[in-house]
């Protein structure tokens, strides 16, 4: 349940363009991908990934 809440907060942050939701943690791969795609495209695809993870977590929570 906590994971669902955290993923939901992360998704809301991406929708409202909160910078902490997509700015890198200092790792090379994250920052390189952000530079290559640009912030808007990176936010979109991160939002798609988080939505998929959120749906999986909701499914697992309901199934259990």
Q: What is the pTM of this model?
A: 0.86
Closest CA to 22 of 52, 44, 2: 44
What is the domain partition of the chain in residue ranges? 2-58
Tell me the pLDDT of the chain (64 aa) as tens digits. 999 999 999 999 999 999 888 887 777 888 888 899 999 999 999 999 999 999 999 999 999 8
Both structure tokens of 53: 């993870």
pLDDT for res 11: 96
pLDDT for res 24: 72
Cβ neighbourhood burial of 48 (10 Å; 0-12, 13-18, 19+): exposed
pLDDT for res 54: 97
């Amino acid at each position: 349940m906590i994971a669902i809440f955290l993923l939901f907060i992360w998704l809301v942050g991406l929708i409202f363009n909160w910078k902490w939701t997509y700015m890198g943690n200092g790792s090379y791969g994250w920052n390189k991908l952000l530079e290559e795609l640009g912030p808007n495209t990176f936010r979109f695809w991160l939002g798609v990934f988080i939505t998929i993870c959120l749906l999986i977590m909701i499914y697992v929570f309901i199934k259990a």
